[in-house]
A and B are shown apart, each in its own frame.
Chain A
Amino acid sequence: MIGRPKAALARCAVLATLTAAALPGSAASQSYWVYVAAESEDEVALLRYDAGGDLVVEKTITTGWLAAEIEAPHGLAVDPAGEFWYLTLGHGFPNGRLVKYATVADTVVGVADLGLFPATIAVPPHGTVALAVNANFHGDHVPSTVTIVDLETMFPIADVVTCTMPHGSRFSADGSKHYSACMMDNQLVEIDGATLDVSRRLDLVTNEPAHAPMDGHMAMAPSAAENCSPTWTTPHPDGKSVFVPCNKGDLILEIDLDDWRITRRIEAPGAPYNLDLTPDGSKLVATLKGGARVGVWDVATGELLHLVDSLMRVTHGVVATPDGRYAIVTVEGIGGDPGTVEVIDLESGARVASAHMGKQAGGIALWKMES
């Protein structure tokens, strides 16, 4: 660990108190429901984990327009009210789509056109819009966009140009800011939640505010020694920082949102890919895609608490449960490996349940927690 978070301990104490008051007790009878996309199977699995019990695939929902083509379901989000879930389909003709499902029966209720290979999506706490990052994995390293979709009408309102191969779309806890990372430009991009325009950029290599990548110019990859290739963003629930993994730097960066600078670098060997924080902000969980592991850190101290081997290779997505007890992790596998979903007890670091599903389990979204 390099550096120290600003007032991190105090913030976490506040949030811990808050969460204890707001959340129910840690009853063992909690059930957690997640949607997980199988990118190489064109299906989405709905899984349920009963604390202390098994992880079960409750339902498999096929998706896509062409049975004979893989359309690559990738990003998932559930609206705050839990009534709908949203799925990006990466491959289209050529653009991908955002599909809106009703959770009551997992039926399609709306579709919106997106850009080239949309990846992750984020829905703010108010649930009005979705921001989908058009990762454009098709090869040309040119600036891409974030599509803003009105979720009531499923109308794509605008495409905001951000950077090359944007990924890791996430809103701050209060919905006032949106963050995404630029895998090929090494930038963190902030979009104002009210205007939905780009408000700031940070160069994650130089640690200086950045300008928009020049349109029409191929992104030039920095040298390996200084490359970050950020793949995700996770704002801290206190609204004061955002965490970004350097997939090629084996680091997780903490960016202070007041200073708009990197203030901490957490070592995360194994190509960190996706992140999540427990709702109280005390634990940081990262999938280590190259190492087929999951790492759990103490946010206040930066200490690595657990390093958990996964059953399969290529760990991908992660969500922390609303009570902060578990991390639910997706594992892609390779080739014919089944996709895998694993449940990690964040206190003990033990994998307590797992289940197989369709190939290349990736995007994950928590639907609900029931007692």
Chain B
Amino acid sequence: MLLCRLADIPLRLENRYPHTELLYAPFAGDAPDAIPLQVSEEEILAEEAAGGLPSDKTARLGYLEALALYRKISHLLVQKGGFLFHAAFFTLAGAGIAYAAPSGTGKSTQAELMRAAYPEIFRYINGDKPLVRRRGESFYGYGTPFCGKERHGSVGSAPVRAVCFLERSDRDCLLPLRAEEAFPLLFSSVQAPLDPGELSALLPLLSSFLETLPVYRFLCTKRPEAAQCAYDTFVKDGIVP
């Protein structure tokens, strides 16, 4: 059993495998009024399709259990004003930037280009699947145990200040997107809801997210100039100081 907090939600994880605790340990701490969570063997084995599994059987089952718990947490989060976002999330001088795109488009590449170009002000929060949650008028992105195979992440959070939907291109530019244009892109980048009730809670949340924040279509090459282009836009638009 492990008490922890993810996206400011206190959780009591009723795990079967010790490896699960290893993964969630960085997020352990006091969790008054913790919500109990556990997953069945069936739910654990349903995560078998995930890549990057440990070879040791017990560690592998622990990893799958940790994944199944994360999936359950992401569904619970919707009822608490949040969602799982398939994006690379980092900060530039404290301003949270989310790079979203289908797998293989170049989220990690672009995040690494930005890190290489501005190492003094760059910090990863979660390189692959942050949790995002509304806090007051703002949305915050959170570090979690699942941050991609490069393990780019931290225990912490930052306010989301801009969202970019990436597309490979032969040129680098950021084009503003209206919320209604970005909506299908965002919907395909979040954890799919399980049932109509969850969908009813998720849709207005996604609208609020897009209507609150600057959203861009980021046409990008793999050249270092892509990072410069994005950074210049963020500074010009007052997103990054």
Do these two chains really belong together in a complex? no
